[in-house]
Structure 1
Amino acid sequence: MFSISGLSKRHGSRTVLTDVTFQALPGRVTGFLGPNGAGKSSTLRILLGMDRPTSGTALVDGRPYRELRDPLRTVGSMVEGSGAHRSRTARNHLAWIARAGGIPRRRVNEVLDQVGLAGAGRTRVGRFSLGMGQRLGLAAALLGEPAALVLDEPVNGLDPEGIRWIRGLLRGHADAGGTVLLSSHLMTEVAEITDDLVIIAGGRIVATGPLDQVIAGHASLEEAFFALTGAAGAEQRR
């Protein structure tokens, strides 16, 4: 379970996050939505131990990420800036992650096959298309067979077949008891796969709860999103 409570972050005089509080639960896909600059990436970076909050906590099963004994076996992540070096092959990139995390080498071929890159293991990442790079990022996230996944824009660059595939992958992970925290700008896909929603705007949570509850009274998730984030923006400008 991911539990984020009272999370705040400031850079000098600029406030990035204010009292961000929500949970992402086992057996459910939680969609994390917000406009550009709303604080999604900052929240995920703090959750994954890549940054420190000014105040508040971001916990994985009751512990900060930095205190997890086997982080790669506990949380698989795919966030901006965590891609492979362009000069490495896909297989080498995954092999050093496996070695660093104490993960059996056999998992490299298994995840390459799982994400549809079995024939591209010896290809240098610099030659990958955007969609292939996304698949490699997912392979890295799945390498340790983690119980929880944190994915930032995982369908970006994927073709329709790839989007359908990842939808099934994430739904299957949650149905097997895993936790999925998914950040995306694609409203249709979020509405298709998520159980719960968290919407952030201006560094503050403006809505959280089951999908049907958050969009109640609106024609679609998109309409609910713009209504909620627009109202938050208007409040901030007062």
Structure 2
Amino acid sequence: MILHAANTRGHANHGWLNSHHTFSFASYYDPERVHFGVLRVLNDDWIAGGTGFGKHPHDNMEIVTIPLTGALEHQDSMGNKEVLHAGEVQAMSAGTGIFHSEYNAKADEPCTLLQIWIFPEERNVAPQYAQTYYDVEAIKREWHAVVNPMGKGDGLGIHQQAWFNLTRIPAGERRDYALRRPENGVYFFVIEGGISLDSQALGTRDAAGVWGQESFAVTATEDAYVLAIDLPLQLPKMG
């Protein structure tokens, strides 16, 4: 198990943007925290009203955005112009290259989100973009996949053998997570509340990477909202 406590993350406060980085990002660099398997970036962002990220490029990365509060406006070089709200998820395959911008869609209140980057299993695919509402009732009952490999589920598809699963667990309830592929590991990130992961306590914004078992015991020590990213441990060969 690899533990990443919330208070050990990188931190950058630019006024308009307050961002916590689980993995090395921008001016934050820790050689021990560059990636977990194909998971490269997990940023926990607060964006002030009426501000955001201007147009900038990406390539050869699968980018998943999960808004937590407020609304985020997305525009890109493929002609998409959308607003993303809590209860939705966005997946973008940068592939051969894409430009996009992300702004808080509201002038008078902040928005918060998780943005997660995954190394793709294939380089230079055609860029694509999608967003959808997920079943907020399903995440109260189960580990509900909101993102999955292309053609392998009802969530948004990405070019990697990775599943993004959300769940809400009432205090005192146990909800084990079953691994999707034996060669994968799981990165658990506690969005809210607290859990015991195979007897390891994790609080709000704490995270842990685990592997080597078919399932993992998760018990809510208080009402908990949790993201589990089931993903390959080996980086793809990009030769």
Q: Same fold (TM over 0.5)?
A: no
TM-score range, shorter chain: 0.3 to 0.5
TM-score, normalised to structure 1's length? 0.34
Q: Which structure: larger Rg?
A: 1
TM-score normalised per structure 2: 0.34
Whose helix fraction is larger, Structure 1's or Structure 2's? 1
Compare the two structures and name the one with the higher strand fraction: 2
